[in-house]
């Protein structure tokens, strides 16, 4: 479940960045993000800005820096992983949601229906593979059964001849 949520977060971030590049998502103000970054609770958490100085005027710079990090244009700072940059950018996008003018739905709330549909699709694929495997196995067993029916008497006769020959050899070995 965590992987699905992480994938949805990454998809939301990617959708947002792509929409900004197309010009269909425009942030009208970074004030809300600046307030979020300078909030007393967040000042105690250096991970909020990944060690970058937090000032009201830096909200847009930090936002753009995170976009550069997740796009690979800028390396993450030492105290930040790529995944953390995605997660932080996802948080910032949600903070800026009311200040973002969009012409498309790019910041979706995790859709459990989509997740369920994806899970069902995966289960159907697994089921189909298992059905095919079962059919292949059944075909092999059918071929083996036909082969046994065709050659069973011959194999029984060969086995019987072998046992008789083995018995004679044992008798010869016992004679001094």
pLDDT at residue 48, as a whole number: 55
* 25 DSSP 8-state letter: E
**pTM over cut 0.85:** no
Sign of the CA dihedral with 53 first, then 56, 60, and 63 last: positive
Tens of pLDDT, residues 127-144: 999 999 999 999 999 999
Does the pLDDT value for residue 175 go beyond 80?
Answer: no
Q: Which residues, 6+ apart, have CB-to-CB distance to 72 below 8 Å? A: none
DSSP run (H or E) holding 100: strand 100-102
| Per-residue pLDDT tens digits for 144-155 | 999 989 998 998
pLDDT at 1: 45
Where does the pLDDT of residue 107 fall: very low under 50, low under 70, confident under 90, or very high at 90 and above?
low
Give the pLDDT confidence of 7-64 residue by residue, as tens digits. Answer: 778 888 888 888 888 888 888 888 888 888 777 566 555 555 555 555 545 788 888 8
User: Please, which pLDDT band fits residue 2 given cuts at 50, 70 and 90?
Assistant: low
User: Residue 6's CB: how many other CB atoms inside 10 A?
Assistant: 14
E strand spans, 5-156: 25-27, 100-102
**pLDDT for position 133:** 93
Dihedrals phi, psi of 91, to nearest 5 degrees: -60, -45
Q: List the domain boundaries for the chain.
A: 2-110
Higher pLDDT, 141 or 6: 141
Amino acid 55: pLDDT: 54
């Amino acid at each position: 479940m965590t992987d699905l949520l992480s994938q949805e977060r990454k998809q939301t971030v990617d959708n947002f960045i792509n929409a900004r590049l197309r010009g269909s998502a425009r942030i009208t103000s970074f004030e809300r993000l600046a307030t979020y970054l300078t909030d007393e609770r967040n000042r105690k958490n250096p991970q909020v800005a990944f060690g970058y100085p937090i000032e009201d005027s830096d909200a847009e710079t930090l936002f753009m820096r995170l976009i550069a990090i997740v796009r690979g244009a800028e390396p993450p700072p030492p105290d930040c992983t790529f995944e953390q940059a995605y997660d932080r950018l996802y948080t910032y996008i949600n903070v800026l949601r009311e200040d973002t003018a969009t012409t498309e739905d790019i910041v979706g709330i995790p859709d459990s229906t989509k997740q369920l549909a994806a899970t069902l699709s995966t289960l159907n694929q697994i089921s189909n593979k298992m059905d095919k495997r079962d059919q292949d196995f059944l075909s092999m067993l059918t071929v083996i059964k036909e082969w046994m029916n065709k050659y069973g008497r011959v194999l029984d006769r060969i086995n019987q001849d072998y046992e008789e020959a083995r018995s004679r050899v044992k008798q010869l070995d016992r004679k001094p």
